[in-house]
């Protein structure tokens, strides 16, 4: 390397890449929450401690969720390639990457949701049952409402995981800071682009976590421990 890339060019490379990463992460998180929340509720409701225990169904649902979650993302990316082409018309670029990302996000968020709901005190749920509340109302006003802090936290954890996945997807299918780091940085022997991309990924993750913490604090009405 004789010349380093001037800052202005680096900026031109990473700016659209950052936007693409944010776009991929937010869209797949959205799909993950929309799909994973009901799946997680279902998983919890059918569990032995749920309101409508159905052991067999629960085991089947759990197996689907956990098997999907255990597929390494790189493999998932390749495996769902044809599905991506079917849905998005192409298998490359940041929009196409949303398909495998969302497929990874749904079971991930479902498991986190089911764990969060399990932590709601059964005394609170039973109290609601004795008021004559319907199951739907109990899910909505008791389970989801009481677990709101944990659920917001789960959205944050999902987003952070997806930043990592999105970088991987980008490296293979193109798009986002991951692609910039590998293709324009590492492969092009451009350390400046490489490290700027990496730092930006870190800043992005950190920012999303801060945002999550802030929203959690905003929605949680429990008394916080103030003296540890």
Partner 1 sequence: MITVENLTKTFTQSNTSVAALDDVSLEVPDGSVCGVVGTSGAGKSTLARCIALLEKPDTGAIRVDGTDLVSLEGSKLRAARRRIGVVPQGDSLLRQRTAAGNVALPLESAKVPAAQRRSRVAELLDLVGLSDKASVYPDHLSGGQRQRVAVARALAAKPSVLLADEPTSALDPATTDSVLTVLERARSELGVTVLVVTHDMAVVRRIADDVAVLEQGRVVEHGKVLDLVSEPGSRIGSTLLPETDQASVLRPDSGQQHDVVAEVVLVGFAAVGALLPEASSRFGVELSILGGGLTRLGDTPVAKFRVGLSGERSESALKWMIERDAHVRRAPVSVDGVAA
Q: Name the site residues for partner 1 (rule: CB under 8 A).
A: 121, 123-124, 126-134, 137, 141-142, 145-146, 148, 219-223
Which residue lies nearer to partner 1 by CB, 25 or 45? Answer: 45
User: Closest approach of Cβ 58 to partner 1, in Å?
Assistant: 21
User: Closest approach of Cβ 48 to partner 1, in Å?
Assistant: 16
User: Closest approach of Cβ 119 to partner 1, in Å?
Assistant: 12
User: Closest approach of Cβ 59 to partner 1, in Å?
Assistant: 23
Which residue lies nearer to partner 1 by CB, 150 or 194? Answer: 150
Angle at the Cα of 62 (from 124 to 36), degrees rounded to 5?
Answer: 70
The distance from CA 26 to its chain's CA centroid, rounded to whole angstroms, is 8
User: Closest approach of Cβ 209 to partner 1, in Å?
Assistant: 22
Which residue lies nearer to partner 1 by CB, 119 or 213? Answer: 119
Give the chain as a 3 state SS string.
Answer: CCCCCCHHHHHHHHHHHHHHHHHHHHHHHHHHHHHHHHHHHHHHHCCCCCCCCCHHHHHHHHHHHHHHHHCCHHHHHHHCHHHHHHHHCCCCCHHHHHHHHHHHHHHHHHHHHHHHHHCCCHHHHHHHHHCCCCHHHHHHHHHHHHCHHHHHHHHHHHHHHHHHHHHHHHHHHCCHHHHHHHHHHHCCCCHHHHHHHHHHHHHHHHHHHHHHHHHHHHHCCCCCCCCC
Which residue lies nearer to partner 1 by CB, 20 or 146? Answer: 146
User: Closest approach of Cβ 146 to partner 1, in Å?
Assistant: 5
Which residue lies nearer to partner 1 by CB, 9 or 220? Answer: 220
């Amino acid at each position: 390397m004789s010349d380093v890339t001037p800052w202005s060019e680096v900026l031109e490379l990473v700016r659209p890449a950052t936007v693409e990463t944010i776009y991929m992460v937010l869209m797949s998180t959205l799909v993950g929450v929309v799909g994973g929340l009901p799946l997680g509720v279902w998983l919890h409701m059918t569990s032995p401690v749920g309101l409508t225990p159905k052991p067999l169904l629960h085991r089947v649902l759990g197996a689907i969720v956990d098997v999907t979650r255990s597929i390494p993302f790189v493999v998932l990316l390749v495996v769902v390639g044809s599905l991506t082409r079917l849905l998005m018309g192409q298998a490359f670029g940041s929009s196409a990457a949303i398909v495998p990302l969302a497929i990874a996000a749904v079971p991930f968020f479902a498991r986190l949701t089911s764990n969060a709901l399990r932590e709601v005190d059964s005394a609170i749920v039973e109290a609601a049952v004795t008021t004559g509340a319907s199951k739907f109302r109990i899910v909505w006003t008791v389970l989801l409402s009481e677990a709101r802090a944990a659920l917001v936290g789960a959205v944050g954890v999902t987003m952070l995981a997806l930043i990592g996945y999105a970088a991987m997807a980008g490296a293979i299918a193109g798009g986002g800071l991951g692609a910039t780091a590998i293709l324009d940085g590492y492969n092009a022997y451009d350390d400046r682009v490489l490290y700027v991309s990496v730092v930006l990924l870190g800043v992005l993750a950190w920012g999303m976590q801060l945002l999550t913490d802030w929203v959690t604090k905003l929605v949680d009405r429990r008394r916080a421990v103030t003296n540890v």
